[in-house]
Every structure is written in C-alpha cells, then in structure tokens.
C-alpha cells in the first residue's frame, strides 16, 4: 500500500523510500563509499556519546532518529536469521533499507539498539534487487564518523579533499 510520502505502509506504519538515487551526499561524506573497515557503533553507544557532550538523553535520542530519517547518519542493520530461506544473519546498509517515514525514540529499544515498533522493516531482497522483504532487525548501528560530524560537532574524522587540506596547511604555515 502506497503512503503519502511515496513510500509504503505496513500495519499502519509508513515507510519512505531511501534508494541510492535519492541519496544526497554532503561534502566530505564517505556516503556510499563506506566499507566494512568503517567504524559502526550501536544506537545505545551513539546516544551515550551525544549525552557525554552535554545533551539530555531524551534530546540525544530524538536527534539520532531525526538524523537517520534525513540520511545524515548512515546505518547498518543486522537482520534476524530466517530459518526457512536465510539461515545466517544478514547485514544491510542504508540504501538497502526502507526506513519508516516516522521514526521516534519510543520506537527503539535503546538498550538492545533495535526497533520495537515495528520490529520488521522492509529490506532489499537478496535474490532480486527489485523486490523488498519484510525482515526483523536485531541490531541497528550508525556510522561513528557521521555521528561525530553531524551530532557531536567533531569534524576531525571527516576526510577533506586534498586541495582543501593543502590550502589549510599552506595558510597555517604562512601565518606562522
């Protein structure tokens, strides 16, 4: 069933499409180039890092949910094994997941870093990339780099293009 935002709904919950063609990369973002070498942290740890910076826990959780929705934070989700067709747990990333159109802190089990309402999200099918399956998610992780830059105001882990980095270094040496 198609929802108001171009997505679908499942048991009254709207889901928005977040396909790679819809993705807007921000300057310096690793975006789609992120690899398994990138650092991923559970939602619980992401909230702890923001709280350590001085925000209230409730506000930190709301900011994480908003950043997931607007694709500021890349996510990785571990799926519960489907014993009939997929015995091993599978991991999917942002462009392979249909994130709910509305995602609030009350929809997350923060201790376990997983969704509770709904616990099943649509993910791109392994067998056919044009199809989507409803799958239960056992863990959501976010990119530590995206979190630091977007919600912790720490840009030290954001890679700069060579030309900008060289210009900054040149300016620093000239001012000395």
Higher pLDDT, 150 or 173: 150
pLDDT in tens, 28-50: 333 434 444 459 999 999 999 99
Percent of the chain with pLDDT over 90: 40
What's the rounded mean pLDDT across residues 82-90? Answer: 65
**Spatial contact of 7 and 16, defined as CB atoms under 8 Å apart:** yes
pLDDT in tens, 128-149: 878 888 899 999 999 999 999 8
Residue 18 has pLDDT above 50, yes or no: no
Q: What is the DSSP string of 70-137?
A: TTSS-EEEEEPPBTTTB-S-EEEEGGGEE-BSS--GGGEETTTTEE-TTSEEEEE-SS-TT-EEEEEE
* Mean pLDDT value across the chain: 76
Residue 75 has pLDDT above 80, yes or no: yes
**Spatial contact of 126 and 135, defined as CB atoms under 8 Å apart:** no
Higher pLDDT, 81 or 1: 81
Q: Which two tokens stand for residue 22?
A: 């819809």
Residue 101 has pLDDT above 70, yes or no: yes
Please tell me the predicted confidence (pLDDT) of residue 164.
Answer: 66
Rounded Cα gap, residues 81 and 87, in angstroms: 5
Q: In the chain, what are the domain boundaries?
A: 8-174
Q: Which two tokens stand for residue 78?
A: 């571990």
pTM of the model: 0.66
Please tell me the predicted confidence (pLDDT) of residue 113.
Answer: 96
């Amino acid at each position: 069933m198609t929802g108001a935002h171009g997505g679908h709904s499942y048991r009254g919950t709207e889901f928005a499409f977040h396909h790679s063609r819809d993705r807007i990369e921000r300057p310096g973002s690793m975006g789609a180039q992120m690899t398994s070498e990138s650092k991923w942290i559970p939602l619980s740890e992401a909230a702890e890092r923001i709280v350590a910076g001085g925000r209230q826990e409730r506000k930190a959780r709301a900011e994480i949910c908003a950043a997931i929705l607007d694709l500021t934070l890349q996510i990785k989700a571990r799926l519960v094994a489907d014993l009939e067709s997929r015995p091993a747990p599978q991991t999917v990333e942002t462009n392979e997941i249909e994130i709910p159109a509305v995602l609030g802190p009350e929809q997350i089990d923060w201790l376990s870093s997983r969704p509770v309402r709904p616990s099943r999200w649509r993910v791109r099918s392994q067998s056919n990339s044009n199809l989507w399956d409803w799958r239960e998610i056992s863990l959501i992780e976010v990119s530590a780099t995206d979190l630091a830059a977007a919600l912790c105001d720490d840009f030290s882990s954001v890679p700069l293009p060579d030309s900008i980095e060289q210009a900054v270094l040149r300016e620093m040496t000239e001012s000395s």
